[in-house]
């Protein structure tokens, strides 16, 4: 089951991601969050509606992205783990140059963490997986053992009630900064990334100061109101890369108004939305 990421000069997740940024000329990541209520009518009869939907989104948006981020809970709540694995296989087979990030936010220790790593990297074959930092190093070590895979640790999340834990002004050093420093220490093999929400661009900037060129996964553009221009100003690395800017609903369900089922031409709408966001990012990359 273990995939070999070594192909030509590509070795390891940083190399794969860097190459995807360059060859795709894109920092955009499309989040794959399928929801039965929003799928087009014609897929409701399928035995694999989530795979059908996601693979169509992948084909439509692949030209415009550096990465795809399938979200675990959306599949798991519906008992559709097999389709999740098939979506990842589909991306790896057709678009081996694009990075896959399994968004599962795992966080446990010991043998349990070892099994979560095995699930993400072997069962699903993901290039990278999202993790919680709450339990510290013991919850990260089993993932680091997969030298060519990546791990994306929550640092500063985009939602407002994370403040009291992640950024309490009473702390000598806020927790998000402690997390950034620790993850940088754990990064001997070039595997680590951090989640830094677009809704807190200045804190994203201080994370960038703490971790050098470490890639940052940035949710919160779109519905959550993150400021794209500020994110780019504070977060780009000296090469004009370093960010994986994630959008899910704004692309997946671009064919429908809020809360409605998408139409049969959802993939074309998704492609247009992805192209537009990629271009908006690039326009602001050039001017910063």
Name the active-site residue from 69, 105, 118, 283.
Answer: 105
Position 115 contacts a second copy (CB under 8 A): yes
By rule CB under 8 A, what count of residues binds a second copy? Answer: 52
Q: Tell me the CA distances in angstroms from 81 to 59, 96, 245, one per residue in order.
A: 20, 21, 25
Position 112 contacts a second copy (CB under 8 A): yes
- The pattern of x and - marking residues 76 through 105 that bind a second copy according to CB under 8 A reads xx-x-x---------------------x-x
Shortest Å, Cβ 279 to a second copy: 27
Of 196, 278, 275, residue with least CA distance to 237: 196
Q: Which residue has the tokens 């620790």?
A: 182
For a second copy, the closer of residues 44 and 77 by Cβ is 77
Exactly one of 134, 145, 225, 288 binds a second copy (CB under 8 A); which one?
134
Longest CA–CA separation in the chain, Å: 56
Position 138 contacts a second copy (CB under 8 A): yes
Q: Which residue has the tokens 């499309």?
A: 30
- The pattern of x and - marking residues 161 through 200 that bind a second copy according to CB under 8 A reads xxxxxx-x-xxxx-x--xx--x------------------
16 catalytic residue (yes or no) = no
> Each residue of 202-226: b (16+ CB within 10 Å) or e?
ebbbbbbebbeebbbbbbbbbeeeb
3-state secondary structure of 200: coil
Task: Give helix 175-185 / helix 201-211 axis angle, nearest 10°.
Answer: 30
Shortest Å, Cβ 270 to a second copy: 18
For a second copy, the closer of residues 89 and 163 by Cβ is 163
3-state secondary structure of 282: helix
DSSP code at position 190: S
Residues that bind a second copy (CB under 8 A): 33, 35, 71, 73-74, 76-77, 79, 81, 103, 105-113, 115-116, 118-119, 122-123, 132-139, 154, 157, 159-166, 168, 170-173, 175, 178-179, 182
Which residues are known catalytic residues? 105
């Amino acid at each position: 089951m273990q995939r070999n990421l070594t192909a030509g000069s590509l070795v390891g997740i940083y190399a794969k991601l860097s190459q995807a940024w360059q060859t795709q000329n894109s920092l955009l990541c499309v989040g794959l969050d399928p929801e039965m209520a929003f799928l087009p009518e014609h897929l409701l009869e399928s035995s694999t509606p989530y795979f059908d939907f996601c693979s169509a989104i992948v084909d439509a948006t692949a030209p415009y992205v550096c990465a795809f981020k399938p979200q675990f809970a959306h599949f798991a709540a519906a008992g559709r783990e097999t389709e999740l694995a098939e979506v990842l296989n589909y991306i790896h087979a057709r678009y081996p140059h694009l990075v896959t990030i399994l968004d599962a936010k795992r966080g446990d220790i010991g043998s349990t963490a070892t099994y979560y790593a095995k699930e993400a990297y072997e069962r699903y074959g993901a290039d990278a997986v999202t993790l919680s930092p709450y339990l510290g190093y013991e919850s990260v070590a089993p993932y680091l053992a997969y030298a060519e895979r990546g791990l994306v640790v929550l640092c500063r999340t985009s939602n407002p009630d994370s403040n009291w834990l992640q950024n309490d002004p009473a702390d000598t050093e806020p927790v998000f900064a402690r997390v950034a420093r620790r993850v940088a220490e754990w990064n001997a093999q070039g595997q680590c990334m951090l989640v830094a929400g677009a809704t807190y661009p200045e804190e994203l900037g201080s994370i960038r100061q703490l971790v050098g060129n470490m890639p940052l996964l940035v949710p919160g553009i779109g519905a959550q109101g993150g400021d794209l221009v500020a994110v780019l100003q504070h977060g780009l690395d000296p090469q004009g890369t370093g960010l994986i800017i994630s959008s899910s609903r704004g692309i997946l369900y671009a064919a429908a108004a809020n809360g409605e089922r998408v139409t049969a031409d959802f993939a074309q709408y998704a492609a247009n939305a992805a192209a537009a966001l990629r271009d908006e990012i690039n326009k602001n990359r050039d001017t910063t």
